Amino acid sequence: MELPGRLYCVLLGLIALVSRAMPTPVPPLSTVKPTVSPQQGLKYLQKFGYLSTGTSQAGGLQAQGNLNKAIRQFQRFAHINITGELDEATLEMMTKERCGVPDIVGTANSARKRRYAIQGSRWRKHDLTYRISAYTQDLPAFEVESAVEKAFQVWAKHTPLTFTRIYWGRPDLDVKFSVGEHGDGNPFDGAGGELAHAFFPQYGGDAHFDDGETWTVRTPGGTDLFIVAAHEFGHSLGLGHSDVRGSLMAPFYQGYTPAFTLPPDDVEGIQNLYGVADIDRPSPHPRPRPPSNDVDVPDYDARGTVDPTTCSGHLDAITRTKNGSTYAFAGEFFWRLNDIGPDPGYPMRIHDIWGVVGPIDAALFWPSTGKTYLIKGERYWRFTNAVLDEGYPASMERFRGVPTNVDAAFEWGRNGKTYFIKGNQYWRYSKGWGVDDGYPQPLSVWTGLPDRIDAAFQWKNGKTYFFQGGRYWRFDDDNLRVAESDPQYPRSTAEWWLGCPIQHEPDWVGSQDGQAPGTDSTDQPADGAEDQRVNGLTGGSGASRASWRAGLTSLCVLLSLWLSRTIQNTH
């Protein structure tokens, strides 16, 4: 039931007066420590990269050995007693506030060459822009802006990097506060636990902060925004987590730190990526670093060890599965991808694992059902993770109105609709219904894409990617065109997705507006296509009503505080 505006204010005023008259209860002290169960501990190890998905269900001595090794790696990162067991100290450590980015990215059995961790991608320019697109209500806007700027300067001080805030348009780095599911496939968990996460440069560099926390500045209470932001921006610039005690890039929250200075481990890591600032240049004989004996921690900089058959960059299909894995398909082979390239042991033959003879035409993942589809010719196979569902393969006729021999398929995050591409046309499909009226449409509606597509999918960050002939494009769902970024799109699939070494600077890096060479930048959607592309989105009335209520609430709170203080002054 909607309350009239006046009654709404009166009720808030009465609540304020009553709360002033009643004593504030003192919360009881508790000695109970938060813990996690062993099963939750296994999920924790999987989530943060120590253990591959499915290990906990596997049997045998090898699986147990992998589990013990994963636990030891976590214990080393956490600087607790290394037992290889999920003991009380280990489970308790898993309750600590931390960053949501995985600790282990890539090969889990190679020796790391440095204590600082380089994820594998970096920005190719030094002048970066950022925008704060959503604020927390815990702090005044100017405090948020000041803390964010100060956090960027932590990294700028030791490198040639500059960070400029913009107020509209697409920045290099988007900073926002959100709660729960917020569109990138990594929902926040509320107070405690994961405080924030960020994407590495190859995935856009955006940084998201859990607004379920109580954000503070310059005080030991709450969660210090500056120190968390400085850590997340390290990820945005290409640094992974460090296992050095006291490092800013260590995964666990360190709390408010007066007079913070960037530790040497982090300085060396960021300068390895971007070089040093003029005032930071060392003497000709820098101090040598002692070798590391941590042979179980992965090498984040081992991009030159990729199987050469991987590096053609051409993909027939790419998709996700219910357990969060990403799979890329080319010819008779497929790869499982992590954030910097293929997992160890890949490529494998498609038929050996999926039961389908390669090559395939397309792949599709529906997040709402957790089902993954491989499509070839007139048939498709449906999977839960990589396990074939009973009753498949089935005829493509079940996708009413969709042609056979499609080139690509994906669900678009903007409207939840499914799109099939064949040649220079695309079909929009509604689940349980069929192809929508008015389709097919020309592919040129998707401004900036080439006239043919080999593969497409929505990744875990909620963004849509298109692949063609060894190159890929990221689509800007807000502006309905290929995203603007530096380096521009298209980019090399082999380098950015398959972890292949950089052989040379591609010719297409300098193309304008992120388009493929020869693509007409004046292409516009067909008549009525704009309405079709946003069909299914929520209208503006709900947002307007929420904004009105938020403003009214703020006004009423101020009125309540004034009434309360007036009554207090009369006593």
On whether 88 is known to bind a ligand per the annotation, the reply is: no
On whether 182 is known to bind a ligand per the annotation, the reply is: yes
In sequence order, what DSSP letters do the residues of 332-392 get, joined into one string?
TEEEEE-SSSBPTT--EEHHHHHS-PSPPSEEEEETTTTEEEEEETTEEEEEETTEEPTT-
On whether 421 is known to bind a ligand per the annotation, the reply is: no
Check if the beta carbon of residue 84 is closer than 8 Å to that of residue 72.
yes
On whether 307 is known to bind a ligand per the annotation, the reply is: no
Catalytic residue among 143, 194, 232, 411: 232
On whether 241 is known to bind a ligand per the annotation, the reply is: yes
Cis status of the peptide bond prior to 490, with omega within 30 of 0: yes
CA–CA separation, 538 vs 143, rounded Å? 32
On whether 126 is known to bind a ligand per the annotation, the reply is: no
Check if the beta carbon of residue 209 is closer than 8 Å to that of residue 177.
yes
Check if the beta carbon of residue 318 is closer than 8 Å to that of residue 329.
yes
On whether 476 is known to bind a ligand per the annotation, the reply is: no
On whether 294 is known to bind a ligand per the annotation, the reply is: no
On whether 204 is known to bind a ligand per the annotation, the reply is: yes
On whether 127 is known to bind a ligand per the annotation, the reply is: no
Q: In whole angstroms, how far apart are CA 402 and each of 163, 329, 382, 440?
A: 47, 22, 16, 9
Check if the beta carbon of residue 179 is closer than 8 Å to that of residue 210.
yes
Q: In whole angstroms, how far apart are CA 374 and each of 38, 320, 403, 495, 525?
A: 35, 11, 15, 25, 30
On whether 138 is known to bind a ligand per the annotation, the reply is: yes
Q: Catalytic residue at 149?
A: no
**Which alpha helices (DSSP H) does 79-201 contain, by range?**
88-93, 141-156
On whether 285 is known to bind a ligand per the annotation, the reply is: no
On whether 456 is known to bind a ligand per the annotation, the reply is: no
| 3-state class (DSSP) for residue 472 | strand
On whether 224 is known to bind a ligand per the annotation, the reply is: no
On whether 432 is known to bind a ligand per the annotation, the reply is: no
CA–CA separation, 381 vs 357, rounded Å? 11
On whether 527 is known to bind a ligand per the annotation, the reply is: no
On whether 318 is known to bind a ligand per the annotation, the reply is: yes
CA–CA separation, 316 vs 330, rounded Å? 5
Where does residue 128 rank: exposed (0-12), middle (13-18), buried (19+ CB within 10 A)?
Answer: buried
- What element of type H or E holds 78? helix 60-78
In sequence order, what DSSP letters do the residues of 475-488 get, joined into one string?
EETTTTEEPP-SSP
On whether 477 is known to bind a ligand per the annotation, the reply is: no
Catalogue the active-site residues. Answer: 232
Residues belonging to the binding site for Ca(2+) are 138, 172, 189-190, 204, 206, 210-211, 213, 316, 318, 361, 363, 409, 454
Residues belonging to the binding site for Zn(2+) are 99, 182, 184, 197, 208, 231, 235, 241, 249
Residues belonging to the binding site are 99, 138, 172, 182, 184, 189-190, 197, 204, 206, 208, 210-211, 213, 231, 235, 241, 249, 316, 318, 361, 363, 409, 454
